[in-house]
A and B are shown apart, each in its own frame.
Chain A
């Protein structure tokens, strides 16, 4: 899928089209390098002593290209939401760099920081708690204009809010209603309208549809895709529902315990996964097709995700991995392309023994 939905030039057969789509397009709009976010664990009341740290994000690097959708998947506690907060500059990074259009975010302050923040907006998971129940829809969507008056001067605000309501498919006359008068799907549309208010370039969607009913999820996904084409937005789409992520994403990154373990185009990740964790995740997803029960090769992982305060040495997945060997405990595998892989399996994977596996989905 390209930004305008057209077929890439020169690509005619479906195979060629598919391959052309593998190549990320545009310039990187966000460059993330070795990002670290540690939350200190302290002991004592008066004289607080740091006794350790929860390594929520522990060395994550990736690029977000202009106009693309990067899906981030992983289980709870893998650091995907913390990553979003650091990118939004809601939490300061412990170390590492986040560049927005080549500018280091953490070093900005004042007007420059405000400008960057305007361009990176967020849509939250729970439309029931992320909207203030005492504010009208008009006030909720118009609030960003209070902070960034340059986007919509005071006189134009009501009109701007009504336009936004229209864009997300809500009746502009609902401007004076309160959140409780809307259903979950409609509330998520309000959240999206608020995210769009400042005409951002990047929207970080943190589980935007997981609180919604199945029949409403598709409506919101369609809206997000429509808006992306209309406003040339770049999305970072965080979710645990792998089929939705596949549908919306150009590239997908898989996180485990604060690390990116595999990243590649949707085809590379879903059809040619090489990291054992990605494979386990894909095989564990319940597939809405009873016929798949028989021919699927299901990998059921043992145990739980280890604590991010005390991650295993070397590869973090080794405690649950069936391929683990002594080397995995000793050496931390780099996120890179392994020499022995071919075709679409040649993408970044953080495993010493990366290799494909059949019949996962």
Chain B
């Protein structure tokens, strides 16, 4: 299985050496009746083949909107992308024709959604829906497509795949449905998978199975993976590097171990501190004060300043750029960036 996949892969590998996906200064806005909601305000990140980037953020942080912009599934209008580039293998997808985009979507970049039940068509058998990938994108006939669907279901370890290929989504459990979603994303062996809260709707014991499967398949196919989540635990388990988002901006990026050990942004620090710890039993939990901002009225300066324990006047006036984080002796720490004027202090105290 591995060798076949590898061969297929090398056969269509183009000579491109940069990162698989490079998002540059992406902005997304939504026109609403109350005004323009700025959901994404200048996001930059890169994902290479075989790498897992976790995008961590609360609801309204813009993590899913960024993903939808990459996939090209935003409803425009009301959404619009006033600025930015999304480079896939060095080519800006925002400048591509509709047809070209459509060929990339599904074949090169696939997405796994949170709620498998509402992402699958309830009136069609799952085998038909899986086979659709091959019929539409590869022009296979029904019989071949179904055979490939069975193969896919086997690969994501759905027991008795052959017997269940004609079952409908409601006949599967939540974990099995999410496996079908993963199978569908994998069908055309994409280079990049975007998983938007893939396990949030699942129970913990099933969550572990599904995450393990996803990580294993990613390694097997050497895919890039963008994992969008709000769960610090899930991130710690699987990610290589993390981008923390707040109010449409990336506030910190770091390799996973370093982010948990020494965060360089007060928001990340606050998130980590608000997880109940064993030695805190019976004490008050640390809580970030206040609420996430309304995207129609993002506070001037650093969006986190009204909730930040370190906020000074400068934080209310200027937007902090995402700067390289360095060690005490000034050597840059690889992959570490922070959008806080006081990252040095945050790093030191953490």
Contacts and interface: CB of A to CB of B under 8 A. Distances in A.
Interface of A: 1, 5, 75-76, 183, 185-186, 213-219, 221-222, 225-226, 240, 242-244, 246-247, 266, 280-281, 284-293, 298, 300-302, 304-305
A287 B237 contact: yes
B209 A301 contact: yes
Interface of B: 58-59, 173-176, 203-209, 211-212, 230-237, 239, 256-257, 260-261, 270-272, 274-276, 278, 280-282, 284-289, 291-292
Nearest to A247: B276
Given A284-B205, A286-B207, A290-B260, A213 B236 contact: no
Contact of A286 (B58, B206, B231, B284): B231
Contacts of A242: 204
A219 B175 contact: no
Nearest to B292: A213
A291 B257 contact: yes
B203 A1 contact: no
A239 to B, nearest CB: 11
Contact of A222 (B175, B205, B285): B285
Contact of B233 (A185, A246, A285): A285
Contacts of B275: 214, 243, 288
A215 B271 contact: yes
Nearest to A182: B291
A218 B274 CA distance: 6
A215 B60 CA distance: 13
Contacts of B58: 213-215
B274 A215 contact: yes
B276 A246 contact: yes
Contact of A290 (B257, B274, B286): B257
Given A216-B291, A222-B284, A290 B256 contact: yes
A201 B49 CA distance: 57
A247 B204 contact: no
Q: Is the interface of B mostly helix, strand, loop or mixed?
A: helix
B282 A185 contact: no
Contacts of B276: 218, 221, 243-244, 246-247
Contacts of A280: 205
Contacts of A219: 287, 289
A215 B288 contact: yes
Nearest to A186: B291
Contacts of B212: 300
6 contacts: A243-B276, A266-B281, A280-B205, A287-B237, A289-B236, A300-B205
Contacts of A287: 233, 236-237
A244 B287 CA distance: 13
Contacts of B231: 286
B327 to A, nearest CB: 20
> Which 5 pairs show the lowest CB-CB distances between chains A and B?
A286-B233, A247-B276, A1-B282, A75-B203, A218-B287
A218 B285 contact: yes
A103 B76 CA distance: 62
B270 A215 contact: yes
Contact of A304 (B175, B261, B292): B175
Given A215-B274, A300-B212, A286 B234 contact: yes
Question: Which one of A217, A246, A288 has the highest number of Cβ atoms from chain B below 10 Å of its Cβ?
Answer: A288
A247 B205 contact: no
A244 B275 CA distance: 8
A242 to B, nearest CB: 8
A284 B282 contact: no
Nearest to B294: A183
A81 to B, nearest CB: 14
A185 B289 CA distance: 11
Question: Which one of A183, A215, A288 has the highest number of Cβ atoms from chain B below 10 Å of its Cβ?
Answer: A215
Nearest to B286: A218
A240 B260 contact: no
Given A288-B275, A289-B260, A290-B260, A215 B287 contact: yes
A304 B173 contact: yes
Contacts of B291: 183, 185-186, 216
Contacts of B232: 214, 288
A361 B303 CA distance: 35
Contacts of B174: 76
Contacts of B209: 300-302
A149 B101 CA distance: 64
Given A215-B292, A222-B285, 16 more contacts: A5-B282, A75-B203, A213-B292, A215-B288, A217-B274, A218-B274, A218-B287, A247-B280, A247-B285, A286-B204, A287-B237, A288-B232, A292-B236, A293-B237, A301-B208, A305-B203
